[in-house]
A = this chain, B = another copy of it.
Amino acid sequence: MLIVLKKSATESQVAEITRRIRDAGLTPGLVPGARRSAITVTGNTGVAVVPDISELPGVLRIIPVTKPYRLATLEGTEGEHSEWQIGDARVGSTTGWFVAGPCSVDDPDRLLETAHFLKSIGAQALRGGAFKPRTNPYAFQGHGEQGLKWLAEARDETGLPIVTEAMDAQQLELVEQYADVIQLGARNMQNYSLLKRVGQSRLPVLLKRGLTATLDEFLNAAEYILAEGNERVILCERGIRTFGEHCRFTLDVAAIPVLKSLTHLPVIADPSHPAGTRSLDEPLARAALAAGADGLIVEVHPEPRHALSDAQQALRFADIEILAQRARGIASVMDRSFGAAT
């Protein structure tokens, strides 16, 4: 059960609502929110009855929800999906969000060149890793704060908002100083401490699906962020681990329309990580958009040979230009558009 509060609800009204919930043997959870403040009710909700609660001052309405992810669920939204403003883009709208950039930030000049090029073909945000999660401890771990500074410079020059990853609370302090969107990687999808911490951030969050996460687990991970009051979560399908050997991960295109039927949050796709090889990037990008994705986040590099990570899967400038063009074509088939006008 979710109790949506009026904007005008006072502290004492909230205290009274909370007391009533406790009296009924249930646990209230306050969710502060710019868009809608609410109180989640946890406990034996199957038979939950809090007498007369809908009559209390401060209560806008009661939403009975069956899903454990009360705030992420599409239930009670009359099927309306959320849209988040990020830079000039409206993520979750009929215009697909176009994010691109290098896997890791390794050279300020190349980054700037890339950003300018991406801007020219309609990209709406610049991705790039300053802190890189690496399987092996001795592998290149990213340029850290220096990388963040290079990204911020690229934003200042091009106007493209920055999407970059943080892997712990300490990195997050830095990322929040420079970035526009915090990325949480697949391996951290169930890092509950980090989820709670980004839930307290003022920045929107791009949450990647774990390699083996069910959609229920994915939406519960998003709920950790929402429950702390940060409602601007964007989900990202990036491939799951299966027995398949012909690509790095199996892009689960069905997850895209199913997620859209379960949650009001925007759902985008990352075709680069499942592809693992450049020639698959574009087919997977097309497939994800055709399945209904609200956007794409793609790896690109002016000289993939020189990339310090994921060199095999980064697109060259000419490749991504074609990709963007076809993405527009596919979007238009579904009465949508893709990226900024160019």
List the B residue with the shortest CB-CB distance to A227: B137
Q: Which A residues between 8 and 29 are near B, CB-CB below 8 angstroms? A: 27, 29
Q: Please, which residues of chain B bring their CB within 8 A of the CB of A29?
A: 138
Closest chain B CB from A329 CB (angstroms): 3
Q: How far is the CA of A157 from the CA of B168 in the complex (A)?
A: 37
Scan A254-287; emit 1 where CB is below 8 A from any B CB, else 0. 1111100100000000000011000110011011
Q: Are A283 and B254 in contact (CB under 8 A)?
A: yes
Closest chain B CB from A115 CB (angstroms): 27
Q: Please, which residues of chain B bring their CB within 8 A of the CB of A280?
A: 254, 257-258
Q: How far is the CA of A292 from the CA of B286 in the complex (A)?
A: 9
Scan A202-217; emit 1 where CB is below 8 A from any B CB, else 0. 0000000001101111
Q: Which of the segments A120-128, A147-155, A239-247 contacts the partner chain?
A: A239-247
Q: From B171, B243, B247, B288, give the contact of A193 (CB < 8 A).
A: B171
Closest chain B CB from A278 CB (angstroms): 12
- Please tell me if A136 contacts chain B, counting CB pairs below 8 Å: yes
Q: Are A246 and B215 in contact (CB under 8 A)?
A: yes
Q: Are B286 and A290 in contact (CB under 8 A)?
A: yes
Q: A135-B217, A283-B256 are in contact. Are A243 and B241 (CB under 8 A)?
A: yes
- Please tell me if A100 contacts chain B, counting CB pairs below 8 Å: no
Q: From B192, B246, B247, B287, give the contact of A167 (CB < 8 A).
A: B192
Q: How far is the CA of A194 from the CA of B197 in the complex (A)?
A: 15
List the B residue with the shortest CB-CB distance to A166: B193
- Please tell me if A302 contacts chain B, counting CB pairs below 8 Å: no
- Please tell me if A230 contacts chain B, counting CB pairs below 8 Å: no
- Please tell me if A220 contacts chain B, counting CB pairs below 8 Å: yes
Q: Are A283 and B274 in contact (CB under 8 A)?
A: no
Q: Are A227 and B193 in contact (CB under 8 A)?
A: no
Interface centre among A40, A223, A241, A244, by most B CB within 10 Å? Answer: A244
Scan A65-87; emit 1 where CB is below 8 A from any B CB, else 0. 00011100000000000000000
- Please tell me if A7 contacts chain B, counting CB pairs below 8 Å: no
Scan A28-57; emit 1 where CB is below 8 A from any B CB, else 0. 010000000000101000000000000000
14 A-B pairs within 8 Å (CB atoms) are namely A29-B138, A42-B138, A68-B135, A137-B227, A167-B192, A168-B191, A169-B170, A187-B190, A212-B243, A240-B242, A243-B243, A283-B291, A329-B333, A330-B333
